[in-house]
Amino acid sequence: MKLYHKIFKNRADMSVYLENMNPLISYDEELLNCLTNARNTDELHDAKCSVLRDFHDIYAFDVGDAEFPEPVGHFDDEEEKSKFIRKKILLQDTVLYLGSVYKKYHSIIYQTHNRLPEIELKKLAIDYNEIYRKAMEDYIAALVTGEQHAVTASFVLPSLIEQGLGMALQNRMLFKCIMQLNDLAEEEKNVIEPFLHNDKMLFYGTEKYTMEKLYRLFVVQLDPGVRHR
């Protein structure tokens, strides 16, 4: 069954599980059959698109229909709590549908061809091809041995490293711009003061206090003629 009323509950350790799994399991098999029955690349592409469309419909339905336990934590208002629950439902649906289906599909592909499809990535500050190959090896090992796959270390961490390099470059550019500022008002001096006498990477403040004000400060001080940009 594609769409049905799901009941999520908390375990004793506060992790979330789906209580009524049977309809989902049978539908996962239908999605898996769409992939395995593809006879060529075009049919496989269409099957993958179909799986993603179904997943979109399922998530959209679950957000408005599923029963989800009351989340633990502090929320400023109901909207913030609602957004948190929607993200948790998205996480559950991703694992239960896409994760489950593609794990089974990749297991079948690997057992049949002794390999998985690979892609070639652009070379950036980090050689993602090398990281991708290592992640693929970890993934295949998980399929063969049944062990857990360290997906965060394989895929998320490299992205954070890349982002960190970008932030470091941005910080260096920011510092050079700050050093060019002269004849500042007292409020403007207060804005840039934390950046001048702090050798750490972290600054505790809202985006409005830091990046937005600094941007406006640079536009006004460095080139008054481009304020409209």
In the predicted structure, residue 190 carries a pLDDT above the cut 80:
no
pLDDT at residue 204 in the model: 43
Kindly report the pTM of this predicted structure.
0.59
d(CA 3, CA 112): 32
- Confidence class for position 192, pLDDT limits 50, 70, 90: confident
The one-character DSSP state at 225 is G
**φ, ψ at 53 (rounded to 5°):** -65, -45
d(CA 148, CA 79): 35
d(CA 86, CA 183): 48
CA distances from 220 to 87, 199, 225 (A): 39, 27, 8
pLDDT at residue 34 in the model: 92
pLDDT at residue 52 in the model: 93
d(CA 187, CA 151): 46
pLDDT at residue 71 in the model: 86
pLDDT at residue 20 in the model: 94
Sign of CA dihedral 174, 180, 184, 190: positive
Give one DSSP letter per residue of 114-144, joined into a string.
Answer: SS-----PPP-SS-HHHHHHHHHHHHHHHHH
Pair 149, 142: CB distance under 8 Å: yes
pLDDT at residue 228 in the model: 43
Pair 129, 123: CB distance under 8 Å: yes
> Which residue shows structure tokens 């029955």?
37
Instruction: List pLDDT tens digits, range 11-40.
Output: 877 789 999 999 999 999 999 999 999 999
pLDDT at residue 31 in the model: 93
d(CA 70, CA 38): 42
CA distances from 115 to 43, 86, 128 (A): 20, 36, 19
Instruction: List pLDDT tens digits, range 45-80.
Output: 999 999 999 999 999 999 999 999 988 777 878 888
**φ, ψ at 18 (rounded to 5°):** -95, 120
In the predicted structure, residue 172 carries a pLDDT above the cut 60:
yes
pLDDT at residue 134 in the model: 76
Instruction: List pLDDT tens digits, range 101-151.
Output: 988 998 898 888 888 877 666 666 566 677 777 777 777 877 787 776 666
Average pLDDT over residues 188-206: 60
Which own/partner contact pairs does 36-42 have at CB distance under 8 Å and 24+ positions apart?
36/105, 36/108
Query: What average pLDDT does the structure give for the chain?
Result: 78
Average pLDDT over residues 3-14: 89
